């Protein structure tokens, strides 16, 4: 049952080894962007405002810009966490598999280039959709659903590649498991709505894919 998958994943997410991984990756990414923005925030904010020149009325433009710059900065943190998780989660996933499924052995180590390629392609698609659909994000309810879907794109392909490539050799089995990857990515992306808990999203998606 999928509810059991969620239950197991939530239990794992609060285990010491997962929390240690998350704190290293998550707070590392947060501190990195805090450092960058401490020097370039004004330039960054100006850039975001320039993108919003199509919006009528100066007061509306300035209001949206006030929200848009922090939102985009927050998104950059999310992207960075997703990339770092994809690149460095292999050892953690193997340890979790040993804990829950002793019979499940890592069949291969997903190639670094494959992980980078999968993550970069997802990031590019995510970035394009984010820029195109950004104005819709301010629409109540509908905007949040659209944003959730866009965020899920960032997690879906890297999760399938990293976890599937590590444990699944049978292509038909991987194809079957991939069917729920959209749902898994969207559930994990819900963490992105809560500051600081967003650091859990990418690894939560990978753990869910491991369990389902």
Considering the entire predicted model, what is its pTM? Answer: 0.81
CA distance 177 to 90: 19
DSSP helix/strand/coil, 157:
helix
CA distance 120 to 20: 25
Q: Are 12 and 96 in contact (CB under 8 A)?
A: yes
Q: What is the mean pLDDT of each run of 10 residues along the chain (212 residues)?
A: 78 88 89 91 80 64 72 84 84 83 68 74 84 79 87 84 73 70 85 81 86 79
CA distance 145 to 138: 11
H-helix or E-strand containing 19?
Answer: helix 16-51
CA distance 49 to 207: 38
- The number of residues in the chain equals 212
Domain ranges of the chain: 2-211
H-helix or E-strand containing 208?
Answer: helix 201-211
Q: Are 165 and 114 in contact (CB under 8 A)?
A: yes
What pLDDT, on a 0 to 100 scale, did the predictor assign at position 58? 66
What pLDDT, on a 0 to 100 scale, did the predictor assign at position 7? 82
Cα–chain center distance at 117: 15
Q: Which residues neighbour 97 within 8 Å (Cβ) at sequence distance 6 or greater? A: 104, 105, 106, 167, 210
Q: Which residues neighbour 101 within 8 Å (Cβ) at sequence distance 6 or greater? A: none
* DSSP string for residues in 51-112: HTTTSSSHHHHHHHHHHHHHHHHHHHHHHHHHHHHHHH-HHHHHHHHHHH-TT-----PPPH
What pLDDT, on a 0 to 100 scale, did the predictor assign at position 60? 62
């Amino acid at each position: 049952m999928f509810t059991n998958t969620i239950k197991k994943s939530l239990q794992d997410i609060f285990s010491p080894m997962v929390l240690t991984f998350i704190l290293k990756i998550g707070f590392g990414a947060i501190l990195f962007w805090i450092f960058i923005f401490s020097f370039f925030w004004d330039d960054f904010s100006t850039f975001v405002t320039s993108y919003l020149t199509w919006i009528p009325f100066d007061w509306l433009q300035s209001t949206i810009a006030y929200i848009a710059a922090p939102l985009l900065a927050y998104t950059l943190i999310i992207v960075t966490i997703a990339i770092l998780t994809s690149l460095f989660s292999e050892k953690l996933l193997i340890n979790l598999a040993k804990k829950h499924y002793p019979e499940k052995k890592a069949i291969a180590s997903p190639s670094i280039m494959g992980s980078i390629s999968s993550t970069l392609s997802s990031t590019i698609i995510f970035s394009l959709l984010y820029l195109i659909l950004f104005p819709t994000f301010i629409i109540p309810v509908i905007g949040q659903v659209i944003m959730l879907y866009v965020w899920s794109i960032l997690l879906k392909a890297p999760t399938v590649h990293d976890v599937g490539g590590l444990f699944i050799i049978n292509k038909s089995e991987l194809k079957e498991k991939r069917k729920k990857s959209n749902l898994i990515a969207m559930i994990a992306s819900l963490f992105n709505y809560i500051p600081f808990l967003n650091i859990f999203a990418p690894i939560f998606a990978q753990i869910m894919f491991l369990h389902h």
